[in-house]
Amino acid sequence: MTIFEGKGLTVRYGAIAALTDVDIALEPGVVHGVIGPNGAGKSTFIDALSGRRRPSSGTVSLDGDDITRRSARWRRGNGVARSFQRTSVFGSMTVRTQLEMVARKNDEPDLDEIVATLGLDEVADQVCSEIAYGTQRSVDLAIALIGRPRVVLLDEPCAGLVADESVKMLEHVRALCTERDVAAMLVEHDVEGVFRTCDVITVLDLGKVIASGTPAEVRTNPDVVRAYLGSAA
Ligand SMILES: Nc1ncnc2c1ncn2[C@@H]1O[C@H](COP(=O)(O)OP(=O)(O)O)[C@@H](O)[C@H]1O
Ligand SMILES: [Mg+2]
């Protein structure tokens, strides 16, 4: 059952259309991957869905209600969370202070559960700017999951991670979405990771959807192979 939907979304930056007539439908417990080359419009897509950028046409809906004109803050307060491509942890605070601040704002009763699942116990008392980059990305994921959002939009959680950190990150995303029945959109550069982790995949190229389906369907789609995967597929 779809709980969150983007329909016909078009976003322009001046004369450039970064996103043209793009659809996505997210369901609880389902991880929906979005892949595409650099500049394909993936971050713009998340910005339009999260309320950071108003689309020039198209709609965003939550439980069937049109929320296209709702602010990013309203969406966060109503169960639609996101993470950013660049880490957004607040440097001078300890991990615990940072997470507790977000938890207070978003009524999270089970912060300890998130911290434990992501293995952040060990670094809880360290200052955010002093922990390893890979751990900062885990803090970003924790922040997105605080407050039991029903929808999470993740923009390249594995950006800058080394291979085994990426594997672990995607396992955490998978486990937390399944356990918490979250409807997730996972934008990721690591194509193999997306094929391994996601139930459904949408492929963007030059701001348009060129394929959408199960990992098996997408992997063998001739347009995808031509435009994106090339000989790696
Ligand atoms: N703030 C902006 N102003 C102008 N053009 C932008 C802006 N952000 C992104 N773009 C352009 O929009 C296109 C899509 O960018 P983006 O959504 O960041 O792609 P991706 O996340 O897939 O790499 C690119 O051509 C990019 O240069
Ligand atoms: Mg991006």
CATH assignment of the domain containing 164? 3.40.50.300
Atom of ligand 1 nearest to the CA of 45: 17
**Maximum distance among all alpha carbons in the chain?**
50
List the shell of residues around ion ligand 2, using CB closer than 5 Å: 42-43, 85
Ligand 1 pocket test: which of 20, 34, 44 has the largest number of ligand atoms within 8 Å of its C-beta? 44
Nearest CA to ligand 1 atom 7: 13
154 versus 191: the higher-pLDDT residue is: 154
Query: Residue 13 belongs to what domain range?
Result: 4-232
CA atoms of 45 and 141, how far apart (whole Å): 19
Our measurement of the distance from residue 172's CA atom to the centroid of its chain's CA atoms, rounded to an integer in Å, reads: 13
Q: Structural domain tally of the chain?
A: 1
CB neighbours of residue 29 within 10 Å: 13
Q: How confident is the model at residue 231 (pLDDT cuts 50, 70, 90)?
A: low
Nearest CA to ligand 1 atom 5: 13
CB neighbours of residue 217 within 10 Å: 13
The reported pLDDT for the residue numbered 89 is: 74
Planar angle of CA 114, 32, 211, nearest 5 degrees: 160
Between the CA of 125 and the centroid of ligand 2 the distance, in Å, is 31
Look over the chain and give the mean of its residue pLDDT values, rounded to a whole number: 93
Give the tokens for residue 161: 């991670």
- What are the tens digits of pLDDT across the range 9-51? 999 999 999 999 999 999 999 999 999 999 999 999 999 999 9
pTM of the complete model: 0.93
The reported pLDDT for the residue numbered 200 is: 98
The reported pLDDT for the residue numbered 226 is: 82
Atom of ligand 1 nearest to the CA of 40: 22
